[in-house]
Chains A and B, each alone.
Chain A
Amino acid sequence: MHPEAAFLAGYSFSLILIAVGLERVGRCSTDPSTSRTLAASRPPTRRTSDLEPDWPHSEVPAFHLGLAAVALAAALVIATVSAVRNIGPVELIVHASLLALIGLRIRHVMVGYRTPTRQHTTKSGNEIAPDAAR
């Protein structure tokens, strides 16, 4: 495999890994009232586990999915450039696999973004539209 193709494919793959990592981090709860990780800093009086998290915790999945989308877009651009510049049997297989993987991850991100998991609550617990909360 041509060194340039190996470098660009490897770099592109590392961006995909970053995107996967960001998606997973985005799925973890950051709200001290519900997160096991942050249990130590949980305010003693707060019992809101039955409610959707407040801002900024409510934005966490979208925020991380957005960052993951940027990383995937960068991976897509670099992998495409590498595929155009390096044409050979091995390179073809590597780039095709890489582009397919990027496609799958982009689809995954888009599905995750469309899923209506983001809700905001007022102090009294009433739900309000995301735009109004912003």
Chain B
Amino acid sequence: MVIQGGPTSVRVRGNVEPRAARVMAKGWIQAVVLVGVFGFTVLGFMAARTYQADPPIPDRVVSASGEEVFTGEDVRSGQEVFLRNGIMQFGSIFGHGAYLGPDFTADYLHRAAVLVEATYGAGGADASGRTIEDFRTNTYDPATSTIVYSDARAAAHGELAQHYHDFFANPAGDTGLRPAAIADREDTRQLAAYFSWTAWAASAERPDKDYSYTNNWPPEELVGNAPTGDVVVWSVLSLIALLAGIGALLAVFGRWNWLGWHGRDQQELSFRSPDRVALTPSQKSTAGFFLVMAALFLVQTLVGAASQHYRAEIGGFFGIDSDRYLPYNIVRTWHVQLSIFWVVTSFLAAGIFLTPMIAGRKEPRGQHVLSNLLLGALVIVVVGSLLGELAGIHGWFGNAWSWFGMQGFEYLDLGRFWQILLTIGLAFWVVILWRGLHSRLAVEHRTNMPWLFFYAALALPAFYAVGLLAHPRATFAVADFWRFIVVHLWVEDFLELFTTVMVAYMFVLLGVVRQRVAMTVIFLDIILYSAGGVIGMAHHLYFNGEPAEVLALGAFFSAFEVIPLTFLTLEAWTFLQLGARQESNSATSFPHRWAVMYLVAVGFWNFLGAGVFGFLINLPIVSYYEIGTALTANHSHAAMMGVYGMLAVGFMLFCLRYLVPEDRWSDKLAMISFWSLNIGLAWMCFVTLLPLGVLQLHRSVTDGYWAARELNFVTNDLNALLGWLRLPGDVLFIGGGVLPLLWIGFNGVRHRGSHQDVLHDDDLLLFTEVSAASSYAPDDEPAGAR
């Protein structure tokens, strides 16, 4: 008996097409809705508390003797100076930003405290006590919107304004910023006012509380900043939540053996050779996306290497004054922005590629034209925004800097104009998917897999758009809340959801798993992500001016984020076995061994990079000392490249396997790329980032956070040497990992036209089932059967 595989819904070509039955039982759908509603309700509560409890920006700051020190307008303008010059991509504020320069909140606080204590007679108990009282007493008067600084503190501010002017206006450079990066004295005065306000928020106690607006962060003995009870207690509870959650997960897996990826045992599939699978015009157009993706990946790694080079050689690049043309904050901005751009390019392309296969029929006319338009728009946004950022730090856009230049929030560095265009582009991509899918969606139950694919795609423009709420003049806590909706919720949750659905669909289309099994995994992932990921977003917000309850919610629920990561690790072996088992059953070889290997790498890095390295810095008590150190970079590299990067490459290889003709395809290149990327990434983490981070953590605990972030410490002999040691790994990563992908991508574009066109709907099928002795129920089994 021969059964054709692929889409399973009933297709009736007529005016009335009955919808396919719901595959999942109602209980699953109710669970997803309930957990989702709970997660987003709590997120809404946290948003409200952010607006209610963020540190106030006063109208004026005056000295005890009545002289004006600076105004609220100076603080807001100072934040704008900070952002438009890309200083958040050099150092950090409230612990958030880049890792080369100092954290300016901690730096200002320490310097001010030293100066104030010196005024009071450094060394004596009285001087220490007076300094602590000076900083901890909250002198903000809501009625007059005024903060009063002691005369000693006002004098210290005057000295520090000069210090920061000297630092940013230094014509010699040697900081990683371009020489005389901010030379205008009014700009540096406003910048100093901004730093001073953040230091005030970090040390002044909240009304009726005995801790500061930042939960006593940063650790600074001179002003009496030490971990609060909440920081310690919620760290312990977070650990308990993690252990209980993992135990529950393993118990559930043991109890219900049907959870997870189960292959179609006892069936024999015949995989269609990639040459025999016909492609639609829009599928062929995705070759351009993958070439652009590989090119962006290459540029991202090159500017990443350049940014790392500044840690090893702060003055330039092997004797060249590179800081004049491509200073650290620019190469770091490009590195961070491109990490999103190239990954998203792959996801967009993979979505377009899978759509005709999901629809199971020929695509509407002009689909490839829209796809090419999207690619063109994407290139314009990427190139435009990157050049805009370079021009922006030179001040070429005047008052329109935040629209076309450097908007300056880390990960949302691109100007708002480009941000809006990118959102429109994502929405346009959803329209392309809708055109391709609507005939299939019309005959599917709204909780079935094609609709899940569409919902997951729809969430991408919707949640990316939320980043527009992060406005350069908003208070930092408010702007940071919306920024992390993009950095965390969009990247870590909704991209993760979309990729889960895509991976599931790939296996279903290949016939490796049943639709019901794939949907169980998707629903389980949604529940787990919604439980941990949505509320867990607050683990980024411990110390940026949010109230203690946000810290508590973030610490507790973010522990649950590790659980789906463990779940994915359990899946990693299953991915391999699924491919292997089907290959051993099929007369034709399984065509996606290396795409599957990348999924295995995703499982590994998800556990190590996101799970272990992420949880290492997730506890509030650890984050209190390490935020903004190389331990954060260690986590972000292992998680962003290890998970999303590997996924993006896996999607690329899956699609290009069909686009590149059999005689041009090289599994060897894919293998070289796979091992080079993984070994290079491991080298980066274990030889440089992890030991650097441990050294910084030690210094932070023993000497204070400011000392761990000091430029002199970050670039000292040992740290610079650890930076140099990364070189072999980076060379392997770029030369052995990225360049082969560029070649494969080039072959995809070069040979995309040689593939046969789709003449019949069945041409899109990826496998043929030659035996149906399965014990599994068919996909269209009525819901609730389980």
Q: Give the B-binding residues of A (Cβ under 8 A).
A: 4, 7-8, 11, 15, 30, 43, 54-56, 66-67, 70-71, 74, 77-78, 81, 85, 122-123, 134
Contacts and interface: CB of A to CB of B under 8 A. Distances in A.
Given A11-B694, A43-B265, A81-B721, A70 B682 contact: yes
Contacts of B721: 81, 85
A67 B683 CA distance: 11
17 contacts: A4-B718, A8-B691, A30-B573, A54-B580, A55-B580, A56-B573, A56-B576, A56-B577, A70-B683, A71-B686, A77-B687, A78-B687, A81-B725, A122-B584, A123-B584, A134-B667, A134-B671
A56 B575 CA distance: 10
A52 B265 CA distance: 21
B686 A74 contact: yes
Contacts of B585: 123
Nearest to A59: B576
Nearest to B604: A67
- Max chain B Cβ within 10 angstroms of own Cβ: one of A4, A30, A74, A122: A74
Given A70-B686, A85-B721, 7 more contacts: A4-B718, A7-B694, A30-B573, A77-B725, A78-B725, A123-B584, A134-B671
A90 to B, nearest CB: 19
- Max chain B Cβ within 10 angstroms of own Cβ: one of A11, A43, A70, A77: A70
Interface residues of B, number: 23
A74 B580 contact: no
Contact of A74 (B675, B683, B694): B683
A69 to B, nearest CB: 9
Nearest to A77: B725
Contact of A70 (B584, B679, B694): B679
Nearest to B679: A70
A15 B573 CA distance: 25
A123 B691 CA distance: 47
B695 interface: yes
Given A11-B694, A54-B580, A55-B580, A74 B687 contact: yes
Given A56-B580, A123-B584, A15 B725 contact: no
Nearest to B698: A7
B584 A15 contact: no
B695 A7 contact: yes
A77 B726 CA distance: 11
Contacts of B577: 56
Interface in B576-610: 576-577, 580, 583-585, 593
A54 to B, nearest CB: 6
Contacts of A30: 573
Contacts of B265: 43
A54 B584 contact: yes
A62 to B, nearest CB: 11
Interface in B672-715: 675, 679, 682-683, 686-687, 691, 694-695
B689 to A, nearest CB: 12
A81 B691 CA distance: 13
